[in-house]
Amino acid sequence: MILVAAGLLVALAVFYFLRSRGEKKPTDANASPALDALVVDAIERELAQSVLDGATDRERANLKKTLLGTDADVDMVSKLERALRSVDLEFIRLAQEADAELNVTVAYENGKTMKTTRRITMQDMPRTVRENFEKNAITRAFQSWQPPWQR
């Protein structure tokens, strides 16, 4: 009797484990891999100069991997945490066009700021921003960008 109960308990545990593995993680409506790549591309050169102070190619590659979250280096993360205050995004919907403008503003702990502008497609925007543009007929949206290690 005890063996039957233990067998049922194990079978139930296996069932719930397999069922939970099949579930998809909810996607972050503010995240977009394409957006992350655009932001990293926009700020990588500036960060290599300001945070790493004349980085080598290897250090720049390490910086890029850390910012993308593919291979976060603990030392690089701590350097970035000490140097960066915030990364803010401004999306501007362009009239009569399917594209938008992305302004990336990096604020450093020492008070310095850096701003860069990119043109992006609507598909590269976070879902919440796209929906906001469509539903509310707005032309600007603002959002903070969080590095992968802070999400």
Q: How far is CA 14 from CA 3, 22, 24, 143, in A?
A: 16, 13, 18, 42
- 35-65 pLDDT tens trace: 888 899 888 888 888 888 767 888 888 898 9
- 94-125 pLDDT tens trace: 888 888 999 999 999 999 999 999 999 888 88
Sign of CA dihedral 52, 60, 80, 115: positive
Length, in residues, of the chain: 151
**Other Cβ atoms within 10 Å of 65 Cβ, number:** 15
Q: Looking at the whole model, is its pTM more than 0.85?
A: no
Q: What is the amino acid identity at position 151?
A: R
- Cα–Cα distance for residue pair 75/148, rounded to 1 Å: 15
